Amino acid sequence: MNRIQTMKRRAQAGFTLIELMIVVAIIGILAAVALPAYQSYTVKAKVSEAILAASACRTTVTEVVQTATVSLPATWGCEVVAGSGTKIVNTVGISNTGVVTVTLNAIGAQVPANATILLEPSSTAATFTALTNSSVGVTIAGWRCGGGTSSVSQQYLPGSCRGNYP
């Protein structure tokens, strides 16, 4: 009988209060580190959509600049006007020097409405050299992404678009 009572006590034994408090503290620390990282990741993923939206215009500019004979066009044919974009991208415009400007809708508190990302073509490979309206028949050596007057914070731009050139 005494042995049965001892076995019941051992079966009823559980975690001590200190063990439970340690587990809760570890979970709290992990959550405090993981939540901001996840929020930053989701914003970065949404901003990547803007880069993807600009890629069609980047291709268009590259082709037109290399094949143009007189001057660069005022409209390029790949622009996205306000209201016809996506949940993330409001507009995509191109200047007469081939600079692609993507205007974003608000992405939480991290990226305000009307924030912009610029993709700028360069005619030289060693350093950034902007195109002019008379840059026709030249080869675009690379693109600068997220530089210039882009208003999206560098931490939210994808790795391939952090002002890097070429």
* Each residue's pLDDT tens digit, 101-140: 999 999 988 999 999 999 999 888 778 888 887 777 888 8
Tell me the backbone φ, ψ of residue 38, rounded to 5 degrees.
Answer: -70, -40
Query: Which DSSP letter does residue 77 get?
Result: S
pTM higher than the cut 0.75: yes
Angle at 102 between CA 80 and CA 90, to 5 degrees: 55
Distances (CA, A) of 72 to 63, 66, 97, 145, 148: 11, 10, 7, 21, 21
Complete domains list, the chain, with CATH: 17-156 (3.30.700)
What pLDDT, in 10s, does the model give residues 40-86?
899 999 999 889 988 999 999 988 888 887 777 878 888 888 888 88
